[in-house]
């Protein structure tokens, strides 16, 4: 039996809506049965019906949807929250409290306080909750995590993470509304590029390491001088487990197309991976030769194997990584229904803790950047 | 409204079944409503029901399915034929004659005669018919085709195509049943590696060029000496439009993971693309610098744009290429229902003509290889 | 006529001696006529004679060499100083004051004060003086510099420079004398990895940009915990022309073989180059496609053309880059003898100013790292 | 003591002259003491003197040089023959018979008969004789050869060799005299691209394998239709040791800059190497992961180690490969003078046998191409 899935936000013309519907559809694990897709209730309902949602579950807004679903015997098992950022917190919290699993777009909240509150809510209710750091779904990202966890790298000393692209480098384009809002503090908050992209690199590094940030020192610049928020940032982190993370993010790095990549250097070896060519992982044991680990190769790790769908040598890409988050949640929800523990290799989705840590890191980076790169505590208060 | 989709073959444990179900599911264009999934009727029916097919449409075999579907008002719009090779011809032909669109696994038939008969049937009935050369679905493959068609390359002089991997190089593994059948003439016919992989390279070259083979000269070897059929082949082609195609295929090229790639050299410029890194295409105008064309870049071609799902810089992979074949067929079927022409940029799926040409090329290559590389006519008799 | 060349240091068993002799020999511009190659006078003299130097010019030490050469009509035109670091300053200064051109190994001096004194001496005497930042000799590095100078990039906003390798990552090897001295403050001074490798990346960035550092903020770590000096550093710079430079250097980045590379991002486009694959340069104009610029391609720049020796498509490497420094000096010395200006495209060697700036940057980075990454002035006092 | 070196051909304005002088100079093993550099005696003599050759050894032509050198106590130890192709044979033979070692440019001769005669002369006289297949000097090419020889690959089944570039693709440029002569049978003989570039690929394959060609089947085309000789060729070989070699060469492959590369597939593993990125070699053991072998890594092979000059991670290029041929000859000549065997790792230069086999292969390929790809004997008659 498929699980029932609902979507909030992601209406007609949005980019993220189709991505979520695709992610939820890839493995045939969910039926799309309910939606509140648009700020305009009539448009949202019409679009949902157009996508095959029954009229009575094509809701006008999220509150209506929560009320409507709450009482149904066939109520949704999972809701995806893909609304404007400022609304994530209240919607996600409301569904968690109603006992419905949530996949929340990033940023999870607008403030650290909200993030802490949401984290406490999830801890208390034990409802499955994921934050959509979709790059965590790549098979070889999961394999790096498994290698780190099983000790292949020894103690990790240093991580280099980048998410640097060049799509906002054109000063002539800076006033283009499609770009401008991304650097407008009124719409975006106190950080632009670090909060938007850098945070993916931080989450990936934390995810692979199994370590959260302890302290950080940030340098923000506005390469396009008309901007008040940063379009390029460098942040050094001390991680809780002792590693140093050096993180660069940029939107003015002309010639870089996406630019999310990770290098992990431990006592016993080093790893190198890049999102644009995600099917190869480079591993060098200390004193040995660099080896190319291919996605789909035999004997990788259960985590990588579960996340792969096609045989070795065939390219896999981002939409399937995304789908892995949905697949993990499906296993987790099913396990809950069946009163068993979910499979370990499916318990790999980014959690409310990732969301919480991200919000704390953004706040800390903004503060550090303002204070000329001073080292500041990067932890949320409730984790100090 | 979704189209109704049925699957023949692809039962429990098969690799190709999940790939087709994934391909059909990605865009939410089809409902999987009917199946005859297994040579064992009871197993096939049980598995189909397990996958959500209604009991009365979980058929015991393809004939039962044809009878069952033929009369239904909600009969299937498309059937995928993923049965053992020797059965493709009769099943595909029967469904075409019943007026049902077909996506047929390769090889389309076992003989050139069968292929000609099927081609004639499709021409007569005008039923949509695709052969599953799934690599044709990659956005940048379609862009190469568009570039060639619109004249960017000038007259094409030379094409270099490869599909060379190394997964059957282990002589110790040659008796492994999972490998051995691939080189057994009784199961496979007169060609192993060329018919299995080389033909993809030929189809891609023909697809991009818009030219079919005229003559060929083939050299087959058995690198693992216990094999009677070739595990490595080189074939030179003269194409109908004047280009020469040089095609290499291998399963003993240790260190190559997949190895499907294409280079096209024309009067005005050259192209280079590789399946393992499908999101970049290298283009060099004569006298100019090599440029990197990224999947998802603005202003490529309608054919490439239609086939892309995520923004530039995000990796896309094989399963989405595969899904593009399904999306093309959906548009074609819908257009037929609506009495209009399908969109040009969706009329990009590999056709019965590709299947026919492939069968003729295999037969010709086998003959040429036997005759020491003599040049032989590569066309099917009905196209001479 | 060949120029007369002398070498100080670089005795038997040294790595740097053969590299200099190779560099000086490649173009046949110099005759190796004088040397003081070893701390042990007898060994040094014997080795020099073994290498073809006449007995009366196979000196026991540098002072003897200075005295011996000073009065000769055929005295050396250029001396290379490749002695232990602590002696560079006095030797280089003495030869400059004797009117002999100098190629000085890096670090040019041990302190900023010495560097300033040497810079003043060179300015006063106008004797040709180069510091051996040999990577400056690569044709495509020179082409990047020419592109920046002629405005192809517009105003440069951001530079990313790395020199990160993994050859000192093995903790078990940290006590190996061949490695240990590199992290011993008594032998090396206050900085290890930044002063040794990072400084190459800084020099290259400054060289390409035509901008010197203004301020910096540094983070040093000792990834191998037994070390007192840094084996990994990150330094942010504000450059005098307004660009930000982000510089990473490491010797614990396992899997990276050399790791010197540069990315330059301007208003109009971006560049990417790596020392390990030095014959390709990637250039992306804003809004355009990435283009691959090949060493040896027609119509690059006079600076790149002069520095290339073989035709396009043939790999060139480090020894020829090194030789370009010698070739530049030869042209400069000859021009001086002939009372004319040297060719502009030969006036590309790293100068005493580079040496001076480097020393100031090292001192500043050490101070900043001690002060938790505080921003400090990176200029030598005499340039403030 | 340096060896005495003479050059014939390579006069002012030639490309090959500077390359040889550079190659001979790199290691300081030779003194350039004699030359007959130009068809015009006065020009040749003036140019040689300009390059530092004494007036009495700046000869007007090669016969004068042979006479002049023959009797001298300090006569040349090695002569390089870099004259127009048609003269190689007689000059090389004359110097061999005078007891002077020869480095002969390719093609060694114009006919198989001449090549056989020269091979017999060298066999009889035992004078060191090399043909300038300069790519043989790359450290990792030598390492491939060592790996094959010591059995790392097991029996080699298949080799894929390419030397395909695109610099003669412009039809508008085909009448340019700098290009046209290369396709003019009157100047070049019966083969253009195969004899010019393909032969390097054949020599490299033979060199690495330690196997010579037995039979071949060739397909030649003229992609630029105004040409009478081929600008693109494909040749299949059966090698004497049982391997199949598939060789592609082209000058119309737009976008390829040089395009010499080699893939070797054996029972135990596969190798991949490319001239444009010569410092990495890819090695995949059967059933294992691909490993990257870096030039300069420890514990490669004596052959590779001898041919490397700078430490791992620093690019080395073609001029140093070239210099390795000179270094090998120097060791061989010295060993002869000293009455000892040369070091095995220096006995790696391409020999008269390579030259002989090349001439036979060219003749055979031309014949096969004319006969529609018929298999023909590729051996010189004296080796049948």
DSSP characters over C316-345? --HHHHHHHHHHHHHHHHHHHHTTSPPPGG
Interface check for C329 against chain B (CB to CB < 8 A): the answer is no
The answer, for C289 touching chain B at a CB cutoff of 8 Å, is yes
The reply to whether residue A252 touches residue C157, judged by beta carbons under 8 angstroms, is yes
What's the length of chain D? 384
The number of helices, as runs of H, and strands, as runs of E, in chain B is 13, 14
Residue B309 is nearest to which of A22, A27, A294, comparing CB atoms? Answer: A22
Neighbours of C84 (CB within 10 A): 10
Q: Judging by beta carbons within 10 Å of its beta carbon (0-12, 13-18, 19+), is residue B71 exposed, middle or buried?
A: exposed
Cβ atoms of C175 and C129 closer than 8 Å: no
- Answer whether residue B82 shows pLDDT above 90: yes
Query: What average pLDDT is seen over chain D?
Result: 96
Rounded to whole angstroms, the Cα distance separating C246 from D188 reads: 55
What's the pLDDT score for residue A173?
Answer: 84
- Which residues on C lie below 8 Å from D258 (Cβ)? 312-314
Q: Which stretch of A76-85, A167-176, C358-367, D268-277 has the lowest confidence by average pLDDT?
A: A167-176
With an 8 Å Cβ cutoff, are B289 and C293 in contact? yes
Q: What is the nearest CA distance from C225 to chain A, expressed in angstroms?
A: 9
| Residue of chain C whose Cα is closest to the Cα of D274 | C315
Q: Which of C289, C294, C297 lies nearest to residue B291, judging by beta carbons?
A: C289
- Contact assignment for D292 to A292 by CB distance below 8 Å: yes
Reading the block at residue B173, the tokens are 């593994």
CA distance B254 to chain D (A): 5
CB atoms within 10 A of CB D169: 30
* C-alpha–C-alpha distance, residues C90 and C83, integer Å: 11
Please judge whether D232 and B250 are an interchain contact, meaning their C-beta atoms are less than 8 angstroms apart: no
Judge residue C337's burial from the number of C-beta atoms within 10 Å of its C-beta, 0-12 exposed, 13-18 middle, 19 or more buried.
exposed
Among candidates B289, B293, B294 on the partner chain, residue whose Cβ is nearest the Cβ of C292: B289
Helical (H) or strand (E) element with A48: helix A41-50
Q: Residue D291 is nearest to which of A291, A294, A297, comparing CB atoms?
A: A291
Mutation site, D48, D315, D319, interface C, largest C CB count within 10 A: D315
pLDDT of residue A70: 93
Q: What are B277-327's pLDDT values in tens digits? A: 999 999 999 999 999 999 999 989 999 999 999 899 999 999 999 999 999
Mean pLDDT, range A356-371, rounded to an integer: 98
User: In chain A, whose CA is at the least distance from the CA of B318?
Assistant: A315
Cβ(A207)–Cβ(A354) under 8 Å? yes
Closest C-chain CA to A287: C170
Gap between the Cα atoms of A185 and A177, Å rounded: 14
pLDDT attached to residue C54? 97
User: Please, are residues D263 and D243 in contact by the beta-carbon 8 Å criterion?
Assistant: no
Ramachandran area for residue B298 (φ above 0: left; ψ -120 to 50: alpha; else beta): beta
Closest Cβ–Cβ partner in C166, C252, C284 for A254:
C284
Contacts of D306 (CB under 8 A, 6+ apart): D142, D327, D343, D345, D346
Task: Choose among D290, D293, D297: nearest Cβ to A292.
Answer: D290
> Which chain B residues contact residue A28 at CB under 8 A?
21, 25, 51-52
pLDDT at D200: 97
Is B158–D232 a contact, with Cβ atoms under 8 angstroms apart? Answer: yes
% of chain B beyond a pLDDT of 90:
95
Model pLDDT, residue D187: 87
Residue B18 has a pLDDT of 93
Distance between CA atoms of residues D263 and D283, nearest Å: 10
**What gap in Å lies between CA D166 and CA B153, rounded to an integer?**
14
Angle between helices D318-337 and C318-337 (to 10 degrees): 90
**In the block, which residue shows the tokens 């590709």?**
B354
Strand partners, C269: C285
- Please judge whether C158 and A232 are an interchain contact, meaning their C-beta atoms are less than 8 angstroms apart: yes
Q: What is the ipTM of this complex?
A: 0.95
* Interatomic CA distance for residues A35 and A58, integer angstroms: 5
Residue D141 has a pLDDT of 97
In C, minimum Cα distance to A284 occurs at C255
Whether cis (ω within 30° of 0) applies to the bond prior to A107 is yes
Average confidence score pLDDT of chain B: 96
User: How many CB atoms are located within 10 Å of the residue D278 CB?
Assistant: 25
Which pairing describes strands B290-294 and B280-285: parallel, antiparallel, or unpaired?
Answer: antiparallel
User: Which chain B residues touch A279 with a CB distance below 8 Å?
Assistant: 276, 315, 317
Give B-chain residues touching D266 at CB under 8 angstroms: 254
pLDDT < 70 positions in chain D: none
Specify whether the backbone of C379 is left (phi greater than 0), alpha (psi in -120 to 50) or beta.
beta
Calpha distance C94→C182 (Å, rounded): 28
Q: How many CB atoms are located within 10 Å of the residue D71 CB?
A: 7
**Res B15: pLDDT:** 86
Across residues A86-105, what is the average pLDDT? 97
**D161-204 residue pLDDT tens:** 999 999 999 999 878 888 999 999 998 899 999 999 999 999 99
Closest D-chain CA to C50: D1
pLDDT the model gives residue B173: 84
Chain C interface includes A296 (CB < 8 A): no
Q: What distance in Å separates the CA atoms of residue B14 and residue B103, rounded to the nearest whole number?
A: 17
pLDDT 10s digits, D230-246: 999 999 999 999 999 99
Interface test with C, best of A148, A152, A158 (most C CBs within 10 A): A158
d(CA D311, CA D305): 10
- Between CA B150 and CA B170 the distance in angstroms is 45
Q: Which of B152, B157, B282 to mutate to test the interface with D (most CBs of D within 10 A)?
A: B157
Alpha carbon distance B10, B24 (integer Å): 13
Question: What is the phi/psi pair of residue D125, to 5°?
Answer: -85, -20
Give how far A18 is from chain B: nearest CA, Å.
9
Q: How far apart are CA D178 and CA D173, in angstroms?
A: 9
Task: Check: CB of residue B157 under 8 Å from CB of residue B243.
Answer: yes
Q: Spell out the alpha helix ranges (H) of A210-317.
A: 302-307
**pTM for the predicted model, two decimal places:** 0.96
Distance from CA of B169 to the nearest CA of D (A): 7
Chains that touch B (3 or more CB pairs under 8 A): A, C, D
CA count, 13 A, side-chain hemisphere, C298: 3
Nearest 5°: phi and psi at B139?
Answer: -55, -40
Q: Are B137 and B320 in contact (CB under 8 A)?
A: yes
Q: How far is CA D294 from CA B46, D291, D314, in A?
A: 55, 10, 10
**In this predicted structure, what is the pLDDT of residue C264?**
98
Q: Is C290 on the interface with B (CB under 8 A)?
A: yes
d(CA B381, CA C150): 63
Tell me which chain C residue has its CA closest to the CA of residue B292: C290
First-residue to last-residue Cα distance in chain A: 43
pLDDT in tens, chain C (384 residues): 799 999 999 999 998 999 999 999 999 999 999 999 999 999 999 999 999 999 999 999 999 999 999 999 999 999 999 999 999 999 999 999 999 999 999 999 999 999 999 999 999 999 999 999 999 999 999 999 999 999 999 999 999 999 999 999 999 887 888 899 999 999 889 999 999 999 999 999 999 999 999 999 999 999 999 999 999 999 999 999 999 999 999 999 999 999 999 999 999 999 999 999 999 999 999 999 999 999 999 989 999 999 999 899 999 999 999 999 999 999 999 999 999 999 999 999 999 999 999 999 999 999 999 999 999 999 999 999
Percent of chain D with pLDDT over 90: 95
Please write the tens of the pLDDT for every residue from D357-373.
999 999 999 999 999 99
**What is the overall mean pLDDT for chain A?**
96
Residues 27 to 56 of B: which have CB under 8 A from any A CB? 27-28, 51-52
Among C92, C133, C93, C85, which residue's Cα sits nearest to residue C110? C85
- Return d(Cα B187, Cα D76) in angstroms, integer: 69
Judged by a CB distance cut-off of 8 A, whether residue B289 touches chain C is: yes
Interface residue A336 vs chain C (CB under 8 A): no
Looking at residue A15, its pLDDT comes to 86
What CA–CA distance (Å, rounded) separates A80 from A5?
A: 8
> Minimal Cα–Cα distance from C270 to chain A, Å?
5
Cβ atoms within 10 Å, residue B54: 10
Residue A243 CA to residue A202 CA, distance in Å, equals: 13
Q: Which residue among A289, A292, A293 sits closest to D293, beta carbon to beta carbon?
A: A289
**Partner C contacted by B280 (CB < 8 A):** no
Task: For residue C191, give the nearest of C159, C168, C219 by alpha carbon.
Answer: C219
B274 touches chain A (CB under 8 A): no
For residue A109, the model assigns a pLDDT of 97
Q: Which residue of C has its CA nearest to D51?
A: C1
Mean pLDDT of B163-190: 91
Whether A146 has its CB under 8 Å from any CB of chain D: the answer is no
The whole-number pLDDT of residue C15 equals 86
SS3 call for D320: helix
Q: Which tokens sit at D106? A: 């390719």
């Amino acid at each position: 039996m498929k699980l029932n899935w609902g979507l909030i936000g992601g209406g007609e013309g949005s980019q993220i809506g189709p991505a979520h519907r695709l992610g939820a559809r890839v493995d045939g694990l969910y039926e799309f049965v309910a939606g509140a897709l648009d700020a305009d209730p009539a448009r949202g309902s019409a679009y949902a019906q157009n996508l095959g949602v029954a009229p009575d579950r094509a809701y006008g807004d999220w509150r209506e949807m929560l009320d409507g679903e709450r009482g149904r015997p066939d109520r949704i098992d999972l809701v995806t929250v893909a609304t404007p950022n400022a609304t994530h917190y209240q919607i996600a919290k409301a569904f968690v409290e109603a006992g419905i699993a949530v996949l929340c777009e990033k940023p999870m909240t607008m403030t650290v306080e909200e993030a802490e509150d949401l984290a406490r809510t999830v801890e208390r209710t034990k409802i499955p909750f994921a934050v959509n750091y979709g790059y965590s779904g790549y098979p070889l990202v999961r394999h790096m995590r498994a290698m780190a966890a099983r000790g292949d790298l020894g103690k990790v000393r240093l991580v280099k993470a980048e998410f640097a692209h060049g799509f906002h480098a054109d000063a002539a384009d800076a006033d283009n509304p499609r770009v401008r809002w991304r650097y407008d503090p009124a719409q975006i908050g106190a950080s632009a590029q670090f909060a938007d992209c850098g945070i993916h690199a931080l989450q990936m590094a934390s995810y692979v390491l199994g370590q959260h940030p302890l302290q950080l020192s940030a340098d923000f610049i506005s390469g396009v001088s008309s901007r008040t928020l940063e379009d390029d940032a460098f942040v050094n982190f001390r991680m809780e487990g002792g590693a140093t993370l050096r993180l660069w993010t940029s939107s003015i790095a002309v010639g870089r197309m996406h630019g999310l990549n990770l290098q992990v250097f431990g006592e016993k070896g080093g790893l190198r991976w890049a999102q644009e060519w995600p099917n190869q992982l480079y591993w060098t044991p200390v004193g040995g030769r660099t080896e190319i680990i291919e996605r789909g190769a035999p004997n990788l790790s259960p985590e990588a194997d579960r996340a792969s769908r096609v045989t070795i040598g065939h390219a896999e890409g981002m939409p399937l990584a995304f789908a892995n988050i949905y697949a993990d949640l499906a296993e987790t929800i099913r396990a809950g229904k069946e009163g068993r523990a979910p499979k370990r290799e499916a318990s790999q989705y980014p959690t409310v803790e990732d969301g919480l840590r991200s919000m704390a890191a953004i706040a800390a980076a903004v503060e550090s950047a303002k204070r000329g790169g001073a080292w500041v505590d990067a932890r949320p208060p409730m984790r100090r």
